Each structure stands twice: as structure tokens, then as C-alpha cells.
A and B are shown apart, each in its own frame.
Chain A
Amino acid sequence: MAPYHRPETLSDALGLLAVGGAVAAAGCTDLFPATGRAALAGPVVDLTRVAEMRGIAETAEGWRLGAATRWSEVLRAPLPPAFDGLKAAAREVGSVQIQNSGTLGGNLCNASPAADGVPCLLTLGAEVELASAGGTRRLPLSDFITGVRRTALHPGEVLVALQVPAAQARGRGAFRKLGARRYLVISIAMVAARLEVSGGRIAAAALAVGACGPVATRLPAQEAALLGLAPQDAAAAVSAALLAPALSPIDDIRGGADYRIEAAVELLRRAVADLAGEGA
């Protein structure tokens, strides 16, 4: 029978993973559904007790979110309004049960096109902190998720934490998800927005769309179009012409590609309007 490890330090975890062949596990909300069996095939390295991967803290550079932080912990954490979208997304990850188990890092490493956490983290300019026995490195989140169920993780490497730079943790964030039912639903489309307003004008805009392509994506052209606008005028400036080129949605059981683009535009308008209504 294969071993099950619960290391408490990152160096122990990396040592165990360096051997190769081990499964890195956290909330297990994606690992268990992927097997019909009663047990995870091992060896298993359970990362949920690794101190360096736990908790949310403000640092000199900004905010550090441990990869083994569970979604319900995100929801309860004292975070600035820029993270309001991430908190809204936390409420939409599966169910309360899933939020109590599933982790931030798992959501990213699973690399589903419909991962609820990704659009908001993109609008926060998040970077991933990766570690292996050979050392650590940082990547922008947009470079970390490389495709459907694909990431830049090397064998033996672990996603340790997310770093949100202080400069990006400003303003206010929003999140909107569209699904065919109220709870426990996979997105047809979802959007995240973060606006910084200064002197009654949008000084910075970060926008992202998920479930409309293999990987969630920022929308630089649309973001640029919002700069300098009064927040209440921003929704009207959201347009399919600016969004569509950034998206590559598929037709699937949840909706057609055209509908997804149309929905993404509408959701983004509403997310931006939400922020304008809240005084961004």
C-alpha cells in the first residue's frame, strides 16, 4: 500500500515530491471525482498542513495567499475591497461543502477553463510562487495556466502561494457568474472586474473573462477603453468589438460560442455597473 504523507514544512513536502510519482493533494475536490475508487492512488503528499502554504497575510509587497487556503477562509479573510470579486467568486465555487474543502491552489492547478478563482486573480495581477527541491520561481498567473488542464508546473514543483502586488490590490473588485442554475453550477461564462477611480475618473481598469476559451483571460483593449471615463459611463463602453477578439469560446452543452460572447459582454457591463454603483 502506498504511503500517505502530511508534511508540515515546505522543505519536507518538496523532498517527498522530489522522489517522483507522488500525487500532490490538497482539498481533493477534483482528485476524488476523477477516480471511481474509494481511495486516492498513492503515494499521496497532502499539502494542507504545510505552514508556508497556509493563510492570508499582508506583506511588504502586497498580499500573500497560501495555496492551501480554503475558499471559505478567503470568504472570511479581512481583505481590501479590491478582493470583493474574489470573495464573490469564493461563494460560487461549488457548494458550501466544496468551499470548506477546496483550495485556491487546487483551483488553479486543476486548470479548468471554468475555474471560478482565475478571472478575479487575473484582475488582481496575481503572481504564483512555485517551489521545488531545486529552488523557487515566480510567474504571472497568466503564464501559469497554459491550457485546458495544463499548467507550467514542473514535475516535483508545488504552487506555494499567490502574491498580489500592493499596486494591484487597490480599488474595488466585482465578479459575475452565469450558470443554468443557482448553486453548484459550472459557469457558462464569468467575468471579473476591478476598477480604481481617482477624481471621478477610472484611473485603472482590470477586466477578465472565464469559461470563454481554454484559459481565462484579461482584456487589455477593453481595459484601455475604460480609462479616463466616469465610472457610470463605463458599462456603455463595454463592447463585443473589444471583447470578442480576446475570447475563443466553444460550443458545448452549456451554450454556443456566440451566446458566450454575448453573455460575457453583458456580464462585464453589469460587473462594471455594479462597481460604479458602489462608488468603485
Chain B
Amino acid sequence: MNRETAMTHLRINGQTHPVAADPARRLSDVLREDLHLRGTKVGCDAGDCGACTVLLDGAPVCACLTPMAQAEGCEIRTIEGLRGAALGALQQAFLRHGAAQCGICTPGMLMAATALLDVVPAPSEEQAREALGGVLCRCTGYGRIIAAVCDAGRALAVPRPESGQAVGAAMMRLDGIPKVDGSEIFGADHWPEDALVVRAVRSPHFAARFSFGDLEAWAGARDVRVFTAADLPGENCFGVIPPFADQPALAEGEARLRGEAVAIVVGEAGVMAALDLGDFPVNWQELAPVMDPCTAQGARPVQAGRPDNVLIRGRVVQGDAAAGLAGAAHLAEVTARTSFVEHAYIEPEAGVAWLDGDVLAIQACTQAPVMDRDDVAKVLGLAPDKVRIIPAAAGGGFGSKLDVSLQPLIGLAALKTGRPCRMVFSRTESMQSTTKRHPAQMRTRIGVDAAGRICGMEFEGSFNTGAYASWGPTVANRVPVHASGPYRTPNYRAEAVAIHTNGPIAGAFRGFGVPQAAVAQEVAYDDLAAMLGMDRLAFRRLNALAEGEASVCGQVMRGVGIGACLDALRPRWKAAQAEVAAFNAAHTGVKRGIGVASCWYGCGNTALPNPSTVRAGISRDGRLWLHQGATDIGQGSNTVIAQIFADALGVAVDEIALIGPDTALTPDCGKTSASRQTVVTGKAALLAGRALRARILERTNRAGDARISLAAGKVVVTDAQGRAEIALADLPEAGHGYVLMAEETYDPPTQPLDENGQGVPYAVYGYGAHLAEVEVDLALGMVRVVRITAAHDLGRVVNPLLALGQIEGGIAQGLGMALMEEYIPGRTENLHDYLIPTTGDMPEVEAILIEVPDPEGPLGAKGLGEHVLIPTAPAILNAIRDASGARITHIPALPHRVRAAIRESGR
């Protein structure tokens, strides 16, 4: 066979496709680019994530590692072949169990599961875990996926809740079908046929000055175009927090992190695929990088405007911490250290930009469409209304897709060329250039009185914020507010500082620094319980914040659920203690142990406005439209917001048509961040639903408990007196093309923090506590998490199925942070050196949902998304210590660190 003459015939899903393509090309690339079968996803191009799994003669392989030539003559099955006229049983099981969150791994999971089910129609959980062990998921924690695979043999219809009963129902996600049939449009899945391809030239150095050679000659010889910072028409400076904005879209003269883009190259797809950027004319003068935050103050400034490399300091002070500690009966001191943690969503950044008249449209993965619009407009010198952001489905975000990444780059390319321009980051580019969780170095001292009551606490944390500000200020402000944990802590002083280095930019990652701080505090709590001779759970219960008590910010807390969460763990705690004792009596080389840790987390921005606006309208044809602007990155806001709205209006969820967060169509619901969407957008949806209902009832003069339904061209209202109709044809337009419309804004009430951090930082908090049961292999230092019991106070559970998915997924990320995840700049820029949990690493998870209503949250609801991973790592660390004596304060607790700590413990 020879490449010049070859016409390959591929048998895919029972059909023969002729392809004139290089036989040495990745099958994944041929499927997606040439055959438009884009249900097969690409996450790493290295066989590390399994997202591209297809079946060759029934056997799962990574399409990214398969040369097209080897697929010839095989029966190839892809996600597109799983669905006939209706969804297959496995796909239905995925929907029923909530197995797809963001959906980016779902095609790979479904194909790997199909291969298993072809051979083993009713697999055990162990068989399912092994069969899916090669497909990574970052959202779900795998529990729902394994459940779905094991339950695929049953065909069950799940009825949708009736009108008025949506809130509280374990509804399947409303946007689930495209996620299980391969038709979802992620950032890399849509482009006009004539789109040009954009690639970035990036710094190979942590810090370097650079200059360009003859760009025009280089580009001309290759039939491409090159753009640099000099081509940006606007202000080359963006950032999620405008007063701290400091990041260039393309670096100017100096690169401050490895992987920072300095230029883009744009050309036809065929040219770009073959292009070698290795000889791009850029001259680097490497600078000594500032990498260690401990010595960064006083080192070369990473940014000229911040000469001491301090981005910001945050503090909360209440009472007299020194005096409180001086009077303590027992004092615990912990120094703890955490690592850069990579978000490792399975979808690398991707998107496409095009010009629609004089409007620049960008369809890309994002968590924050309006912020993207404003940053792109600024960098490209456009008015915000000349930029339209159309969020593609986000294949995972977890905080990192709050910051713009490729949006200004593809926008620049589209503006300059006049052609649609698309870009997909490689896994390495994604890992090098986008944000991470802040590594923290923390020291805390906590004191108790003789009765076991906390009497003082000091906390100091230094957070490596990398080269640019990103969300560093948020971390520095959030940590001191939360470092006490959800415990009554008089005499408190907490200080955090965010330090610039030439490391990767540390930004938002599920919890904004609070998961790191919880490690220090909860390890200290176990120290204190031991000194007191108290049961560790009882010690926490004794100090748990109670209703009406003041937080460390002096805020009087309402709807406080931590006590209820800890109480809910008590039965399992007792049973587990007995089981552990029995296990340990029978085993010598492996020991089990249990640990507990808590969380609290304020929902929304810290003492800053963060409104959401929800619009709903009924069109003249009798259809109900909900402009749901909360970006659903897999967490479920498309479903949860619709549930809240449906009950507020009094219609069935099925009657709602959703319009997503497109900046041209939908009002701003802010960013999907800070666990705010259920609370803030949910409340706006509640208000909008109620307002629309009031308008309908006014027109029909019906009672408050009337039922509303929609029919062609009319709204029907029924109450005890009978039935009334609104003929929509007769109504004047009420705005935005609707004849009945409501638009409501909600901004959670907060109060600014004073210089001591006193005030009302958040309107609503959520609470939780985890009980971890682990098994430690004493000789090897290997830790297996056996079971986690997770009690979470959601205030009001809007959707138990989605809540369970959030809890299991958060636990997976917490487990990864505790045991294996350590991003080392320049060393772990792929998904085989950077490890995240697989199906085989997850424990059994028992979720306990608790409802202590919040007086401010919609129907009492609180946020959950970030809370879920905060207690996991400290609970695991405390369990490791219980099992083995190893007191781990440097995470991740890799086997060699655990082994060393066991040795130090003298056990």
C-alpha cells in the first residue's frame, strides 16, 4: 500500500466509507476531520485518557493510537453506531443513573462498556471497573457510570415529575441525550468548512525575554500568517478581576511562564497539520526563573508592577488570637504543604471564531460567557456588544475555564483574516498554559480549653499564584474567611498571601484555596482530640457552629447545618470503629483506619456583587422559553434551574424550552463558579417564575393555587372555580418577542469586609462532613480508600440524582488531591505522569443529603459543587494516621511519603 494512491475503505457502524487519507494518520483524526464523526472525542492523543475509544472488531482501542491503515478491514464501531431509532439500553441506563455529567468522556465510556456487555451481559461492578479502567472521567467519580453499566440490562421508564413537583425529584438531566448519543457540540466539534486553523507558538522556558526574526519571510514561505502582540488592536491585558488584570493575550518581549503564547500562526487546515513550529523565528534569552514562593519576596520581580512579587494579602482577625492560644489547655501546631493541582478536564480548550457582519462570534468551552465577552472585547479593541460568546458544551471546567484561554487568539485570527478560525489546544498546551490549584504552604496553631472548646487559632498561608493574577486575589480573600472550618472559633487571626512566581498561573479550582486550608485545620483537630483524649467526631461536634452563632467574620450564621452533618455520620462512625478494630486484629501488614473532616463554604463572590438575571417568556404560539444563563459545565444547572423555575411558575418541566447562555440571547447569569448557580441563578429563576405566574394569574383572575399549562396559542389556567384561557394572539408584545414575559435579577445580599475581615462575605453557606475509611499497606505505604460516607447539607435538595453526582465527583477530586495529584512544572505535562483517579481508585460512596433550610437561598437551597471536595483530603489523611500512625502534612500522600511518615511515627 502506498500513500499516494491509496483510497482506503473503512467499515464504520455497518457502512463502508471511502477515505482518501494518509494511512499513517490517527484514526481519531480521520473520523473527526474527514468523516465528520465527531462523537469520538480526543483528550490527550497519547492513550492516557481513553476518550477516543472505538471498537475494532469488538475490541476497544484508542483511536488516537491507531493508524488508519490498521482499521482497514476491521468492523469499526463508534458512538454514532450505538443509537438506532431510539437510544440503546446502555445509553438509557447512563441517563437514568446520571452517568454523564459534562459528557466528554461518555462516548469512550459507552464504547468500552459496549465491548464488555457484548461478552458479559450482566457484569459485576468489579468487571465493569476493570473494563472501564482505561477511560478517565473527571466529573463523576465513576460511581454512576459503573452503576449504569451494571444496570444496562434493564429497560426502565423514568416518569418526569408532574407540574409543581419538580424540586426534589431525582430527574434525569434535561440536556442528557446529546451527551449519550455523541451529538453534543463541545469546543472542538463544530467549525465551518472553510475555517482556518490556529496554532500558538509558546515559550519553552519558565522565564525568558524574546525577540522575533523575520516573521513575514517565515510565514510567506509556508503560506501561513503570523500574528503577535503588535497585531492586537486593543489593550493587551486581561484578567478575571479587573483591578488586578495583568495577563497579555500574547506576551510582549518577556514570557513569564512555560507555555505562554507569544505568537499565533494561522493557515489552511492541510498546511497547518504539516507545519513544523520548531523553526519559528523567535530568539529566546532565558532568565533565571523565580520558582520558589519562599524566596520569591526579594527575588527578581516576575512583574515589574509588583516588585516584591506579592500579588495580594488577605486577613481576617477577630478577638485576640495570641491571648486565646496563651490560655489554651492544649495547643496543636501543623505546618502543611500542598502541590499544584491540574484540573485535568478531559476536553482540552477548543473553539472557533467567525465574523457575523460586524460582530465577532466565538463558540468555545467556557464557564463565564459574559466575562469572556468583556475580556475579548478589551483585548481586541471592540465594543462588548460587538462580541458574541456562544458557549460550546464544556467538557469539564472545575474553575480553569473561567479565565479566557484561546478566545482572544481565535478572535484575533478571525478579525485579521476575515475567515472563521478554529483552534484546539494539545493536552500539553492545556496543561502548561492554563491555571492550576494554588500550592500552599501553611502553618496553623489551634488551642482548646480543658473542656475541649476551641479558644484560639492562628493561620498563615502562602499561596504560589504563578505568573499572573487570575483568581489569586479570590484565594487570598477566601482562605482567611474559611480557614477556621465550620467551627466556633473565638480569638482568630488568619492571613494569606498570594506570591508571584514563574510557575503556572494558579487560579480557580473547586474551592478557591479552602481545600488546602482544610488540610491544615483538620489535621490539627485530630492532634487536639488526641491530646484531649476525646473521640474525634465528638470533638468536632462539640465545636461545630450552631444556629445564630457568629462566624470568624462576625456574621451571624443562619441555616447552619454542620451539626446535622456530623450527627449523620455518627452511626457509620461507630460501626466503622468496630469493623476497623476487628480488621486490624486479624491483619498485620495492612491496617485500616477512619478519619473525619468537615467543610463550610460561602456561595458566590466574597463580599462583592454577583447578580444573575433570568428571563422567561411565552411566545405567541404558546411555547414557554426559559433563558437559562448559568453555564452548565456538567454540574446540572440546565436541569436544576429549570426545576426551580417550573415549580415557581407552576408548570411541568417538560413544557419548558431552554435557551442557553449565549450573550446575544440570554441575560447574564454570571460565572459558573463559587457554587453560586443553584443559589443565585436559582433564586433569580424562582423570582422570574413567580413573576410570570403572577402576570398570568392577574390576567385570568385566578386563585394562587391555580394550575397553569400551555397549549397551542394559549395559556390555560385552572382552579377550583374552573378554567380560564389567555388567547396569546390577542396580546401585545411584552418585549423580546414574547407576549408574556418576566425578567428578574437576584444579587445575594453581602456586606463589605473591613480591614479585619469583619462583615458579611456571603449570603448563603453550605456545609458537609466526610468519614473516610482507608486501608494502608504498611510496608509499601500504599493507601486504598475503602469507603466514604459523605453528609452534605444542601438546605433544600433540588435534584438528588445530580447532587449525588456532584458528591461522588467531588470526592474523586479530593481523593486525587490527597493521594496522587502533583503537577510539577515542566515535568508532568501529560496524563500519564500527572495521575488522576481511575475507576479502580474510587471507594464506595454513601451520600447522606441533609436539608437545613437557608433563609436566603431559593426554597432554602445552598450550593454544593465545591463543598464536596473540601473534606475529602483531610478525612483521608486523618484516616491514614488512624490506620498507620503516619501523620501526613505534605500532599499528595504518595506511597513513598506515606512510607516515610509511617517510619517516622515509629509504628
Which residues of chain A have a CB within 8 Å of any CB of chain B?
1-6, 25, 27-29, 32-33, 36-42, 44, 46, 48, 72, 94-98, 100-101, 178, 180-186, 188, 253-256, 259, 262-263, 266-267
Contacts and interface: CB of A to CB of B under 8 A. Distances in A.
B26 interface: yes
Given A181-B835, A181-B837, A259-B895, A96 B67 contact: no
A44 B67 contact: yes
B780 A185 contact: no
A259 B896 contact: yes
B3 interface: yes
Interface residues of B, number: 64
A259 B23 contact: no
A28 B835 CA distance: 22
B567 interface: no
A-side interface mostly = loop
Contacts of B587: none
Given A97-B60, A97-B134, A263-B895, A33 B67 contact: no
Contacts of A178: 780, 782, 895
7 contacts: A4-B24, A32-B64, A95-B133, A97-B134, A100-B60, A186-B832, A254-B894
Interface in B887-907: 894-896, 899-900
- Of the listed residues B115, B131, B896, the one surrounded by the most CB atoms of chain A closer than 10 A to its CB is B896
Contact of B65 (A32, A36, A42, A256): A32
Given A32-B46, A182-B841, A40 B67 contact: yes
Contact of A29 (B47, B822, B841): B47
A253 B426 contact: no
A6 B1 contact: yes
A86 B832 CA distance: 22
- Of the listed residues A28, A42, A44, A262, the one surrounded by the most CB atoms of chain B closer than 10 A to its CB is A28
Nearest to B277: A36
Nearest to A44: B24
Contact of B3 (A4, A185, A253): A4
B824 A33 contact: no
Contacts of B781: 259
B502 interface: no
B839 interface: yes
Nearest to A41: B24
B779 interface: yes
Nearest to B839: A183
A181 B785 CA distance: 11
Nearest to B21: A39
B827 A253 contact: yes
A247 to B, nearest CB: 15
B235 interface: no
Contacts of A2: 3, 24
B838 interface: yes
B550 interface: no
Contacts of A6: 1, 69
A269 B821 CA distance: 29
B747 interface: no
A3 B782 CA distance: 48
B66 interface: yes
Nearest to B274: A37
Given A46-B69, A180-B895, A36 B133 contact: no
A106 to B, nearest CB: 11
Nearest to B778: A266
A101 B23 contact: no
Contacts of B822: 253
Interface stretch (B48-56, B236-244, B552-560, B677-685): B48-56
B24 A40 contact: yes
Interface string B797-833: 0000000000000000000000110101001101011
Given A1-B4, A253-B824, A98 B47 contact: yes
A29 B46 CA distance: 8
B825 to A, nearest CB: 12
Interface string B59-93: 11110111101100000000000000000000000
B45 interface: yes
B840 interface: yes
A95 B25 contact: no
Given A40-B24, A42-B3, A184-B832, A94 B67 contact: no
A263 B780 CA distance: 6
A31 B640 CA distance: 45
A180 B820 contact: yes
Closest 5 CB pairs of A and B: A95-B134, A182-B840, A183-B133, A33-B46, A259-B896
A6 B73 CA distance: 13
- Of the listed residues A29, A38, A259, the one surrounded by the most CB atoms of chain B closer than 10 A to its CB is A38
B134 A94 contact: yes
A253 B835 CA distance: 11
A5 B60 CA distance: 24
- Of the listed residues A48, A184, A259, A267, the one surrounded by the most CB atoms of chain B closer than 10 A to its CB is A184
B221 interface: no
Given A97-B47, A253-B827, A266 B779 contact: yes
Nearest to A27: B65
A95 to B, nearest CB: 2
Given A253-B822, A259-B899, A185 B65 contact: no
B730 to A, nearest CB: 59
B2 A98 contact: no
Given A36-B45, A97-B134, A184-B48, 14 more contacts: A4-B2, A4-B69, A5-B1, A28-B66, A29-B65, A32-B64, A32-B65, A38-B33, A39-B26, A181-B840, A181-B841, A184-B133, A186-B833, A267-B780
Given A40-B24, A255-B894, A100 B3 contact: no
A40 B27 CA distance: 12
Contacts of A44: 23-24, 67
Interface string B289-328: 0000000000000000000000000000000000000000
B65 A28 contact: yes
Nearest to B819: A180
Interface in B112-155: 112, 115, 130-131, 133-136
Nearest to B893: A180
Contacts of B53: 97
B393 to A, nearest CB: 23
Contacts of A184: 48, 50, 133-134, 136, 832, 838
Interface string B834-849: 0101111100000000
B22 interface: yes
B877 to A, nearest CB: 16
A75 to B, nearest CB: 12
A32 B47 contact: yes
A3 B3 contact: yes
Contacts of B894: 180, 254-255
B273 interface: yes
B62 A98 contact: yes
B29 interface: yes
A259 to B, nearest CB: 4
A94 B47 contact: yes
A59 B828 CA distance: 45
Nearest to B828: A253
A253 B24 CA distance: 33
A180 B50 CA distance: 19
Contact of B134 (A3, A38, A183): A183
A32 B26 contact: yes
Contacts of B115: 96
B899 to A, nearest CB: 6
Contacts of B69: 4, 6, 46
Interface in B1-21: 1-4, 6
A65 B541 CA distance: 63
A188 B23 CA distance: 36
Contacts of B838: 181-184
- Of the listed residues B22, B135, B428, B819, the one surrounded by the most CB atoms of chain A closer than 10 A to its CB is B22
A246 to B, nearest CB: 20
A140 to B, nearest CB: 30
- Of the listed residues B23, B25, B112, B840, the one surrounded by the most CB atoms of chain A closer than 10 A to its CB is B23
